[in-house]
Amino acid sequence: MSYRADIAIIGAGVIGLAIASHVTRAGREVYVLEKNKTFGQEQSSRNSEIIHAGIYYEKDSLKAKTCLEGNSLLYQLCERNGIAYKKCGKIIVATSDIEAEELEKLFDRGKDNGVPLKMLSRGEMNRLEPNMKGLAAFFSPTTGIVDSYSLMRYFLGKAKENGTQVVFKTEVTGIEKVSGGYEVSVDDPSGGFSFMTRVLVNCAGLYSDKVAEMAGINIDEAKHNLHWCKGEYYSVSGGKNRLINRLIYPVPMTISVGVHVCFDVNWRLRLGPLFYYVDEISYKVDDSRKEAFLESSIVKALPLIEPSDLDPESAGIMAMLQGEGEGFRDFVIKHEYDRGLPGFINLVGIDTPGLTSSPAIARYVSHLVNEILESEK
């Protein structure tokens, strides 16, 4: 055991990188360990890139709080550091009476969470989106889009500038609690090694339940088992991107926010994600689900999109605490001292809106890290 770190972060997705950019400072040895050959190859580069406003989540949950805070921090970060973004706003539209009832509940929930929202009249709906059909809709002005790759590059650059070592092709395979911290074993191209760290932060995304288990947490008892949920996207051709002016979402009738209009910062148009639970990691789009896509509410709301405009494009897989048919589960972001693991900070189930929440989660975790390191002085 030759190295001794102050802080080791497992995972170089947007969450691990955001945290690294925040906790690194003079006099601290900080490492980020990533099993892939570069950063952000999993959830953080396979998502809708939406800066969420905070509408959907239970009041006072970590999701609601970090999303609202992250939303405003993210716009500031993008503006100050040349990260591409668009504060284009979004419309949530109901296409049936049942959806219209749910739309009102969603509007109230968003308002209650402190999100600025505006109910639209028929005239306003037509003026804002002449090609959209719907019975009722509201507008969220603080929803936007961010270039997730540039955001991660920014966090990585800031972390490195402040002295963090980011090591790729390095997979954490074992964690042992020892006096004064943790002994972490890794596999790397040289065959592997182990080192000691005072603080260990689990940001392992799809595998964060396995990492929690490695640290000694009984994940069944803690209810930290993850479910993998695959979301598929279809590209939309035929110049239809010029006929839609902002993000358009359906009323969520299941656990997911529903197949929606996704634009990237270059105004490339996609529809998705259509979510379903999976047991293995494969990013191939299952084209047999195109029928389900065509039946989604968003296609009803946008009759200008024809079946021939849609082509399978990409997929992402999300690490979710809620299994099929289960209700809302919040992010787990916790210093696990009460499980006998002082210095182990555990992040499990950082599903959507994790990209939006990343700067706020980084602040929160940085506060936990400072408490731990200060208490040892």
Ligand X SMILES: Cc1cc2nc3c(=O)[nH]c(=O)nc-3n(C[C@H](O)[C@H](O)[C@H](O)COP(=O)(O)OP(=O)(O)OC[C@H]3O[C@@H](n4cnc5c(N)ncnc54)[C@H](O)[C@@H]3O)c2cc1C
Footprint on this chain of ligand X (rule: CB under 6 A): 10-16, 33-36, 40-44, 46-50, 52, 171-172, 203-207, 211, 231, 273, 316-318, 350-356
**Strand, coil or helix: 167:** strand
CB 16 within 8 A of CB 201: yes
CA distances from 246 to 45, 117, 201, 312, 356 (A): 22, 15, 37, 22, 18
Q: What's the min distance (Å) between Cβ of 135 and ligand X?
A: 25
**Based on CB atoms, which residue is closest to ligand X, 196 or 355?**
355
Collapsing DSSP to helix, strand or coil, 199 comes out as strand
Smallest distance, ligand X to C-beta of residue 326, A: 18
Pick from 337, 345, 340: nearest CA to 361 = 345
DSSP type of residue 283: -
User: Which CB sits closer to ligand X, 138 or 263?
Assistant: 263
Tell me which DSSP letter residue 58 carries.
Answer: P
Residue with Cβ nearer ligand X (125 or 154): 154
**Nearest to ligand X of 44, 366 (CB atom):** 44
Bridge partners of residue 103, in order along the sequence: none
| Whole-number Å distance between alpha carbons of 72 and 264 | 19
Burial class (CB in 10 A: 0-12, 13-18, 19+), 185: middle
State the minimum distance, in angstroms, from the CB of residue 261 to ligand X: 12
Angle at alpha carbon of residue 36, lines to 283 and 69, rounded to 5°: 80
Q: How far is Cα 33 from Cα 36, in angstroms, rounded to an integer?
A: 9
Of 125 and 263, the one with the shorter C-beta distance to ligand X is 263
Amino acid letter, residue 215: A
Collect all residues with Cβ–Cβ distance below 8 Å to 320 and sequence separation of at least 6. Answer: 226, 227, 228, 229, 329, 349, 351
Report the residue number whose CB is nearest to ligand X: 354
Closer by beta carbon to ligand X, 11 or else 110: 11
Burial status of residue 271 (CB atoms within 10 A of its CB: 0-12, 13-18, 19 or more): buried
Closer residue to ligand X in complex, CB, 15/125: 15
